[in-house]
């Protein structure tokens, strides 16, 4: 498993992880256990997913040393005014002594509390309860303001990113500021991307599924990526992407698929509490 450095922290994040968005609470423990058995060492959850308890049970029951499993969770929108307390509640639900990465889930610009939330999260990081801290769904504008008004630059920004929404401006901004890019919905939520004829051609060339081709593209771009599935065969398939390399021409062919097509909410207007 490749790992990348989260800047300023010395913390290594496994480049490919397992996401549990939309995994029902009653299925989370088994799904995460299956992922850990398949070789994943990076689990991504959030308070809003309602499955932190199951994730924590699976991590604790895995038999793996705690330091070998990278755990991310996130602060929900309605908790920006009480970020430290909400973090402690997530930690209690997980049943862990610390998390490896804690993120602000959305900036919620209409609420205008994300700077306040970040200052509380900086304290959580300094106390060692979160080894690294970052954000999710932030834009150039919200990231810039955060960096201007607080002390710690987010180590990572987790954004919707797939071949139909390649986020080139955000990725360039991240690179210029020492921020890692993490992709959610990396294979397009099964909403047509994997049926693209260009991916079918590459699937035949490399003897890999379209999903594996896309995940390999992410890895070669330098993205952290967190595919999600509850199907054991698919969980195993998604991690089987380290035995081939896409050539330059094929990376360019996937790069040509960009449509600017967003599947999830727009971070500039998403204000759900």
Which positions are annotated as active-site residues?
49
Q: Of how many residues is the chain composed?
A: 273
Our measurement of the distance from residue 186's CA atom to the centroid of its chain's CA atoms, rounded to an integer in Å, reads 9
Please state, as a whole number, how many other Cβ atoms lie within 10 Å of the Cβ of residue 97.
9
Give the max Cα distance, the chain. 51
DSSP letter for 196, please: -
Phi, psi angle pair for 90, to nearest 5°: -65, -45
CA 95 to CA 32: how far, in whole Å? 15
8 Å CB contact between 77 and 271: yes
CA 59 to CA 98: how far, in whole Å? 12
8 Å CB contact between 117 and 28: no
8 Å CB contact between 254 and 202: yes
DSSP H helical segments within the chain, as ranges? 25-38, 52-61, 83-94, 114-126, 140-149, 168-176, 197-206, 210-221, 232-239, 248-255
Torsion of CA 12, 114, 49, 64, to 10 degrees: 20
| CA geometry: angle 42, 223, 122, nearest 5 deg | 65
């Amino acid at each position: 498993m490749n790992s990348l450095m989260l800047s300023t922290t010395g913390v290594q994040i496994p480049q490919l992880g397992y996401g549990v968005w939309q995994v029902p609470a009653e299925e989370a423990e088994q799904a995460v256990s299956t992922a850990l058995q398949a070789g994943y060492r990076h689990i991504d959850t959030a308070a809003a997913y309602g499955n932190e308890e199951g994730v924590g049970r699976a991590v604790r029951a895995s038999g793996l040393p705690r330091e070998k499993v990278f755990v991310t969770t996130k602060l929900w929108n309605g908790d920006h005014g009480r970020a430290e307390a909400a973090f402690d509640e997530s930690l209690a639900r997980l049943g862990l002594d610390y998390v490896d990465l804690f993120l602000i889930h959305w900036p919620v610009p209409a609420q205008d509390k994300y700077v306040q939330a970040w200052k509380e999260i900086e304290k959580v990081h300094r106390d060692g309860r979160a080894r690294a801290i970052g954000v999710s769904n932030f834009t150039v504008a919200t990231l810039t303001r955060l960096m201007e008004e607080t002390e710690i630059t987010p180590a990572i920004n987790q954004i919707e990113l797939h071949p139909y929404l390649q986020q080139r401006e955000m990725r360039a901004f991240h690179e210029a500021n020492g921020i890692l890019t993490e992709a959610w919905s990396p294979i397009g939520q099964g909403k047509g991307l994997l049926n693209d004829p260009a991916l079918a051609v590459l699937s035949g060339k490399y003897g890999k599924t379209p999903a594996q081709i896309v995940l390999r593209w992410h890895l070669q771009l330098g993205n952290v990526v967190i595919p999600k599935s509850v199907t054991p065969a698919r969980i195993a398939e998604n991690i089987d992407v380290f035995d081939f390399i896409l050539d330059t021409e094929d990376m360019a062919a996937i790069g040509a698929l960009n449509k600017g097509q967003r599947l999830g909410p727009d971070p500039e207007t998403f204000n759900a509490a």
